[in-house]
Amino acid sequence: MPGSEAAAAIICRGLSKTHPGGVEAVAEMDLAFSEGLTTALIGPSGCGKSTLLRLIAGLDMPSGGTVSILGRTPAEQRREGAISVAFQDPSLLPWLTVQQNVALARRLARQEPDPDHVARLIALVGLDGFAATRPAALSGGMRQRAAIARSLVTRPRILLLDEPFGAVDELTRRQLARDLPPLWQGRGTTAVLVTHSIDEAVTLSDRILVLSPRPARIVADLAVPLPRPRPADLDQNPQFRAIASLALAALSCG
Ligand SMILES: Nc1ncnc2c1ncn2[C@@H]1O[C@H](COP(=O)(O)OP(=O)(O)O)[C@@H](O)[C@H]1O
Ligand SMILES: [Mg+2]
């Protein structure tokens, strides 16, 4: 099973999901995610990436097989506040400000309030000055950034990000890809990131899984042994380009 050499934090066994209407999105997937590492999932649109992430998050039930997270079910881990998600359509509470939305995540995970940490995260995602603003007055990219701050504020053991930068402009994306990973990497957090961008996958992750068209199958499992923290000009690095080329080749012949 790929990735099972180090202690696995997330183990999927025979995982399958057929959606209502008979769409087979994930079929018999065996997969392990090593504790403390960031794994990027890339694959063609509609191949089952979001389905896989929702199964791991315990937001959807599998049609077959199991997900085990640090020895327990996703539902149990969610109740304990161990899992954080930031998905493409951020579901911020419209009547709360950015600050209140982010702080609420700590309360829901039964953690002590930490206003300084909340303020630092809001600044890090570039929303300084918008802490007292409600979601309706933010752009889509700003709402996504608020959702990213919310996902990190509990210092989760499991972090699941589904195209979290999709609506964010290119320059901010690059800045977030550089500034955010140190917040969870090196803290034992196991992160799974779905992205459309090969460069983003290489920049952010320790490992890249390239998926085939639906139902998702792993067509490449690439290690990303680049130094951390990753420098701003990383995409000029020959090793970076070599990994990106392998990922593109796998995606193309998926
Ligand atoms: N709730 C749902 N009901 C029915 N079909 C779904 C549902 N969610 C996803 N699908 C279908 O499952 C397939 C995989 O979807 P998804 O996991 O969202 O792909 P990806 O995230 O890789 O783009 C697609 O064909 C999609 O239309
Ligand atoms: Mg998706």
Q: What is the pLDDT of residue 3?
A: 45
Q: What is d(CA 26, CA 51) in angstroms, rounded to the nearest whole number?
A: 7
Supply the pLDDT for residue 4.
Answer: 44
Q: What are the pocket residues of ligand 1 if the criterion is a CB atom closer than 6 Å to any ligand atom?
A: 19-21, 23, 25, 43, 45-51, 214
Per-residue pLDDT of the chain (254 residues), as tens digits, is 444 456 999 999 999 999 999 999 999 999 999 999 999 999 999 999 999 999 999 999 999 999 999 999 999 998 888 999 998 878 899 999 999 999 999 999 889 999 999 999 999 999 999 999 999 999 988 999 999 999 999 999 999 999 988 888 888 888 888 888 988 988 899 999 999 899 999 999 999 999 999 998 999 999 999 988 888 788 889 999 999 999 999 999 86
Name residues whose C-beta falls within 8 Å of residue 91's C-beta, 6 or more positions apart in sequence. 147
Structure tokens at 238: 């020959």
Q: Could you tell me the distance, in angstroms and rounded to a whole number, from the CA of residue 45 to the centre of ligand 2?
A: 7
Q: Which residue has the tokens 């359509």?
A: 89
User: Of all helices (H) and strands (E), which one includes residue 86?
Assistant: strand 83-86
87/103 Cα distance (integer angstroms): 18
Supply the pTM of this predicted model: 0.93
Q: How far is the CA of 46 from the centre of ligand 1 (A)?
A: 6
Ligand index nearest the alpha carbon of residue 55: 1
**Residue bearing the CA closest to ligand 1, atom 25:** 46
Residue 209: the pLDDT is 97
Ligand 2 centre to CA of 162 (Å) is 7
pLDDT at 6: 65
Burial of 158 (0-12, 13-18, 19+ CB in 10 A): buried
Instruction: Compute the distance from residue 87 Cα to the ligand 1 centre, in Å.
Output: 14
Please identify, in words, the CATH class of the domain defined by 1-75+190-254. alpha beta
Report angle CA 81, 123, 92 to the nearest 5 degrees.
Answer: 45
Residue 132: predicted pLDDT: 97
As a whole number of angstroms, the distance between CA 254 and CA 249 comes to 8
